[in-house]
Structure 1
Amino acid sequence: MQTSFLAAALLLSAATIKAQSPVDNIRLNQAGFYPAAPKMAVVTASEDDRFIIRKADGKTVVFSGTLGAVQRSPYSGKESRMADFSALRDTGRFVLEVTGAGRSHVFSIRPAVHDALAKAALKGFYYQRTLIPLNAAYAGRWSRAAGHPDTAVLVHPSAAGPGRVAGAVISSPGGWYDAGDYNKYIVNCGITMATLLSLYEDYPAYCRTMGTNIPESGNTLPDLLDEILFNLRWMLTMQDPADGGVYHKLTNPAFDGMIMPHEAVKTRYVVQKSTAAALDFAAVMAQAARVLKAFPRELPGLPDSCLKAAETAWQWAQQNPVVYYDQQAINNRFDPDISTGAYGDRNVRDEFMWAASELFVTTQKNIYQPDLQLPMQLPSWSQVSMLGYYSLLRAGHPLQAQLEKWVETMAAGVETQPYHTVMGGTARDFVWGSSAVAANQGIALLYAYRFTGKKIYLRHALGNLDYLLGRNATGYSFVTGIGGKTPMHLHHRPSIADGVAAPVPGLLAGGPNPGRQDGCKYPSTAADEAYVDDDCSYASNEIAINWNAPLVYLAAAIEALQEEL
């Protein structure tokens, strides 16, 4: 608390604050802050150099400060100033006020301030489950009937083989819906499962505290692993036992309308085996084998089954190294046409590197020595080599210098950015799923902190979490149900069709995307503002499992490390 706050309180009394309801002029982490951690807000309009912080009831001023210098967005040209209140360590619920800008959303300062976020983001996967009903005891207002049992799935002609002819019926139940649609994709499960498994490998003690009230809660496994298992067991059904190849996806021929899962009853297919699917599958199964090995009583035989599946998928990929998923080519040859998400990738060198890394770390067999010539790059569903580097680092391989050099480049100039976040340092950050870019940058920064001990990387990671929760050019907290201004109109079929005004909670919206591929009307075309809270907008307001997974990791890891901030 600064000694001058009483004088500031007189100057900035409640009567002088023009707007007494939260406005977009003050952008900050709407969940809140740890007492000893950095605390910043961005003010986009002001008539005064000073800001104050009051208790949420509006009666007591607890802090005052001076706004920083004017900075200009390189994307929109808009000016803003930074309010730094890191010195405030009082706990409670507060608002920040600036003459001309109004007041912020209510935020908290307390320990474990992101614990609810981490658990909500993990619970988001439960709401994406196929097969089972979501009962009110676990799902609350968002309870629904079971959707897509997938116990009678047809083999698409593109997926036929000696043991399974076109039209053969197989059972492939379980797993998560991929995004706002009702299909299941092995490639996108790759990075999703790896991120969640890595969270458990890196922060097991905190993960054991993440109770999410799911049907499996109360057994002896952490809820994180129970959730992972729900998808892992589905993935195992996607491997052809005859040859070890892995089907690229399980899908309807076309996307469903905006209906509930149990109303979507079109015929489902497994479609073509692909090299990318086999390698992503192999990597996930190899990592799962070593993680689940710690639970022999709860999961007898499963780690061995996972490792065997991984090795046979690897062998198939070795024999079929360039079987790329080309949806148009499939549709030119076979019926029915498939028009759902392609997740096509014509360069699988990174998938080979990742799968080899996981198999090498798990088995210590020299035949899996990975290719370490690939550059470090931010992970995405189509660029997965960094997942291999993370596992190699965790296993003790001397890659710290390479990691720090890469992260230093990523974080260069963060202090000169208007929002003081690594996210947004370049316009290339704002792509389809830019929120996942922010979360994955945060994960990379956490690894840099872990292997160098430099606290600046930990604080940059926290800054990217601040970005996701409101310190950004849109003023939104991009996580449903977390904060005062969150997405209400997701491109997410259950949230649209369930009759509940609030969307399913704990889901991460895609975020600013100047590509605007959906053709919807956006309030701004600036790279950092190109977001619209409209269910029309699948390019900026859809959700996806590979976006929620890094949010879970980032929030949980920050919680685990809060005493080090």
Structure 2
Amino acid sequence: MRRSGIALACSFVLGLSGAAVGAAPAHAAGATALVRINQLGYAAAGKRAYLMSSTTETGATFSVLNSSGAVVYTAPVGANLGSWSSAYPDVYALDFDSVTTAGTYTISVSGPVAATSPAFPVGTGQSLYAGAMANALSFYQDERDGANYIPSALRTAPAHLNDEHAMTYQTPSYKASTGAFSGSLTPLGITIDASGGWWDAGDYLKFTETTSYTVDMMLLAVRDYPTETGAGFNAEAKFGLDFLQKMWNDTTQTLYYQVGIGAGNAKTVSDHDIWRLPQADDTYDGCTSLYRYICNRPVFPANTPGGLISPNLAGRVAAAFGLCYQVYRTSDPSYADTCLLSGEHVFALANTAWTGNLTTAIPYSFYPEVEWRDDLELGATELYDALTAATPPAGLPQSNPSYYLQQAATWANAYITGPNDAADTLNLYDVSGVAHYELANAINAAGDPSGLATSVAALTADLKKQLDKAVTQSAADPFGFGFPWDTWDTTSHGAGLVVMAGEYDQLTGTSTYAPYEERWTGNILGANGWGLSFIVGDGKNFPGCLQHQVANLAGSLTGGTPVLAGAAVEGPNSKATTGSVSGMVACPANGTDTYAAFNSSNAEFRDNMQSYSNTEPAIDLTAASVLAFARRMAGQ
């Protein structure tokens, strides 16, 4: 769960013309039926669309037609997969794996209630997902803070230039229920350059927690799929690393974890209390006392100088710096050397006897992470890979890579035997889905040395344990999604499952989860009860009313451009939240709940700028899709 119960400022609209695509049901004697598809198309085994109907479709058949209208495949509709809702009690599988010729197709259902799908492509992963990858890059570029912003239709000025000389403060005591703190913050008398980085979400806060996870996912994609990610993501990953280097002072051995405050009090306006474009903040309302932390944003340290660091932050920041060395050691060796030294120092300060809430954000309820062993596994693995990638620079605390391989195996075993094993899948709160894969590859490359606390077999078995739970969940959902629709971060978990499915099959040389990989990809891109792609700009029908300030105030609210392309939103949830901030541009303008008719008994999606539980995008929510799309483009 993320950002619980705290009103956020962020909204955006992609016009309702997009919302109409595939949303208008076919009618026959008062009954309705719709065909739900992966709007980006189909590339591999597991090609499945879904027929959702208000009545039984006994005896129905479906045909796949090419762009000329010729039937290329026909078959009876597949099994009734169960009830989606009282309005749509019957959902059927439409499988068409034999359609492999590249082209544009539609599906036509003939039966008790006829239905026709929107057009969709069949092609290679490269042809289908290259546009989505470009959109994802665009999203991160639009989320850039500081002087080094990238001008676009949404971004016309730099923002938060005062962050270049930000004061640091003690972490205040605050009410867990609201995040509000009492009185004023206590300055530490030290200013740092906290400029740059990406905004966390639709708000303008910046967190080491989410930035380090995002950089980790991005650098894994850049390292392993440089052709697919291209020069754009190579530069964007370095932009994220630059911010992490500012959040880490290697001289004083101090890590900073947050820039800005999301919840204030009667005497202090916070980031989430106002709705504005980011360039307004440096001089907001004359920088009066009430707005002092808007104009001059506070920075909070995660440790005292040289003191121990919350292990989740230590692990994922160390991973980012280890990956930095792997990716930039040839193109920018001095920068890479600095990263590696920082990574080893951060990892060495991990508090492995941590108790209580992990350090994530103020308030903790914004990002209530509970697991950290996976972070240390990933951090140690990437430091190991860095030391084996080339002759390491002089002056490192640890130059023997076997030290980090042993550390990685120890923490992997601690995770597997720990209290949260397989309780989650790859997302911000659990990175074991990539840590296990990375470590298994490292152990194999090292020749499977003896004496490690875990093995490739144990790591792949734990990946399988997580994936099998997702398969079990799929069987309970008529659309076959591997994660409950009524839970936070739906979109992000879907992309994470796609990554994990491909990793397991790659490690084992099998195609065990290939059909699920195809279908889980489809689930977040339109093959769901709402017929929505939950990534903006990917497909024709996607959320239009994001809770994102820039998109709401500078984007199109009428169905045109610009849109916040590439932004993965929260997705469906158990409840569509409400809450208005002065200055929001109403979206939809008429307040219509376009997708209410498609909500299930447990999950709902409301395309409304107030509904952050559904429509807020974030850098961490989008991160797994970068790696997922890169793998799909590469044919993995």
TM-score greater than 0.5 by the shorter chain: yes
Q: Does 1:453 align with 2:509?
A: yes
What are the superposed Cα offsets for residues 145-182 of structure 1, whole Å, 9 maximum, x if unpaired? Answer: 222232121212339xxxx9624332122111111111
What amino acid is the match of 2:214?
T
**8 Å contact from structure 2 (residues 427, 624) kept in 1:** no
In structure 1, the partner of 2:117 is 104
In structure 2, the partner of 1:262 is 279
In structure 2, the partner of 1:271 is 300
Show structure 1 runs of 5+ residues with no match: 1-16, 212-221, 329-337
Aligned ranges 1:105-144 → 2 under 5 Å: 105-111=118-124, 112-132=127-147, 139=152, 141-144=153-156
Q: Does 1:196 align with 2:218?
A: yes
Q: Which of 595, 613, 621 in structure 2 is aligned with 1:547?
A: 621
Q: Does 1:512 align with 2:520?
A: no
- SS in structure 2 at match of 1:94: strand
In structure 2, the partner of 1:373 is 414
In structure 1, the partner of 2:348 is 315
What amino acid is the match of 1:130?
D
Of 88-97 and 551-560, the range deviating more from structure 2: 88-97
- Counterpart CA distance in 2 for 1:276 and 1:439 is 29
Q: Does 1:444 align with 2:503?
A: no
In structure 2, the partner of 1:85 is 96
In structure 1, the partner of 2:157 is 145
What are the superposed Cα offsets for residues 119-148 of structure 1, whole Å, 9 maximum, x if unpaired? Answer: 322332111111246555xx3x33422222
In structure 2, the partner of 1:536 is 610
- Counterpart CA distance in 1 for 2:329 and 2:374 is 32
- TM-superposed CA distance for 1:393, in Å, is 1.5
- SS in structure 2 at match of 1:248: strand
Show structure 2 runs of 5+ residues with no match: 1-25, 173-185, 263-269, 283-293, 388-400, 445-454, 581-592
Q: 1:61 to 1:345 in 2, by over 3 A?
A: closer
In structure 1, the partner of 2:62 is 51
- Counterpart CA distance in 2 for 1:483 and 1:229 is 29
- SS in structure 1 at match of 2:630: helix
- TM-superposed CA distance for 1:305, in Å, is 0.9
**8 Å contact from structure 2 (residues 254, 301) kept in 1:** no
In structure 2, the partner of 1:463 is 519
What are the superposed Cα offsets for residues 361-417 of structure 1, whole Å, 9 maximum, x if unpaired? Answer: 444142662321312532333333444323211213532442454145234447845
- Identity among equivalent pairs (%): 21
**8 Å contact from structure 1 (residues 476, 485) kept in 2:** yes
- Counterpart CA distance in 2 for 1:412 and 1:294 is 34
- Counterpart CA distance in 1 for 2:60 and 2:309 is 55
Q: 1:508 to 1:103 in 2, by over 3 A?
A: same
Q: Does 1:38 align with 2:38?
A: no
What are the superposed Cα offsets for residues 276-304 of structure 1, whole Å, 9 maximum, x if unpaired? Answer: 66653554444543553454453131122
Q: 1:169 to 1:414 in 2, by over 3 A?
A: closer
Q: Does 1:393 align with 2:440?
A: yes
What are the superposed Cα offsets for residues 515-540 of structure 1, whole Å, 9 maximum, x if unpaired? Answer: 54557988376476421111111111
- TM-superposed CA distance for 1:307, in Å, is 1.7
**8 Å contact from structure 1 (residues 361, 391) kept in 2:** no
- TM-superposed CA distance for 1:470, in Å, is 0.7
Q: 1:394 to 1:258 in 2, by over 3 A?
A: farther
What amino acid is the match of 2:35?
I
- Counterpart CA distance in 2 for 1:264 and 1:80 is 49
In structure 2, the partner of 1:219 is none
- TM-superposed CA distance for 1:60, in Å, is 3.7
Of 383-392 and 234-243, the range deviating more from structure 2: 383-392
Q: 1:276 to 1:468 in 2, by over 3 A?
A: farther
What amino acid is the match of 2:415?
L
What are the superposed Cα offsets for residues 525-565 of structure 1, whole Å, 9 maximum, x if unpaired? Answer: 64764211111111111111111111111111012116xxx
Q: 1:479 to 1:303 in 2, by over 3 A?
A: same
- TM-superposed CA distance for 1:485, in Å, is 1.2
Aligned ranges 1:147-226 → 2 under 5 Å: 147-149=159-161, 150-158=163-171, 166-201=188-223, 203-204=224-225, 207-211=226-230, 222-226=231-235
- Counterpart CA distance in 1 for 2:354 and 2:337 is 25
What are the superposed Cα offsets for residues 438-476 of structure 1, whole Å, 9 maximum, x if unpaired? Answer: 111111111111111221322321211111111112211
Q: Does 1:402 align with 2:458?
A: no
In structure 1, the partner of 2:8 is none
Please give the root-mean-square deviation of Cα atoms over the aligned residues, in Å. Answer: 3.3
Q: Which of 325, 348, 354 in structure 2 is aligned with 1:292?
A: 325
**8 Å contact from structure 1 (residues 272, 325) kept in 2:** no
Q: Which of 250, 256, 259 in structure 2 is aligned with 1:250?
A: 259
What amino acid is the match of 1:478?
F
**8 Å contact from structure 1 (residues 24, 475) kept in 2:** no
Q: Does 1:228 align with 2:237?
A: yes
**8 Å contact from structure 2 (residues 315, 377) kept in 1:** no
What amino acid is the match of 1:148?
H
In structure 2, the partner of 1:63 is 73
- SS in structure 2 at match of 1:465: helix
What amino acid is the match of 2:83?
S
Q: 1:454 to 1:232 in 2, by over 3 A?
A: same
TM-score relative to the length of structure 1: 0.80
- TM-superposed CA distance for 1:255, in Å, is 2.2
- TM-superposed CA distance for 1:433, in Å, is 0.8
Q: 1:327 to 1:381 in 2, by over 3 A?
A: closer
**8 Å contact from structure 1 (residues 430, 527) kept in 2:** no
- Counterpart CA distance in 2 for 1:240 and 1:288 is 13
- TM-superposed CA distance for 1:106, in Å, is 1.6
Q: Which of 1 and 2 has higher RCO (CA within 8 Å, sep 6+)?
A: 2
- TM-superposed CA distance for 1:196, in Å, is 1.7
In structure 2, the partner of 1:240 is 249
- SS in structure 2 at match of 1:247: strand
What are the superposed Cα offsets for residues 469-502 of structure 1, whole Å, 9 maximum, x if unpaired? Answer: 1111221111111222111111111111104235
- Counterpart CA distance in 2 for 1:441 and 1:482 is 18
- TM-superposed CA distance for 1:435, in Å, is 0.8
- TM-superposed CA distance for 1:306, in Å, is 1.1
In structure 1, the partner of 2:338 is 305
What amino acid is the match of 1:421?
G
TM-score relative to the length of structure 2: 0.72
In structure 2, the partner of 1:557 is 631
- SS in structure 2 at match of 1:264: helix
Q: Which of 377, 380, 385 in structure 2 is aligned with 1:356?
A: 380
Q: 1:435 to 1:415 in 2, by over 3 A?
A: closer
- Counterpart CA distance in 2 for 1:268 and 1:443 is 36
Q: 1:121 to 1:294 in 2, by over 3 A?
A: closer
**8 Å contact from structure 1 (residues 114, 555) kept in 2:** yes
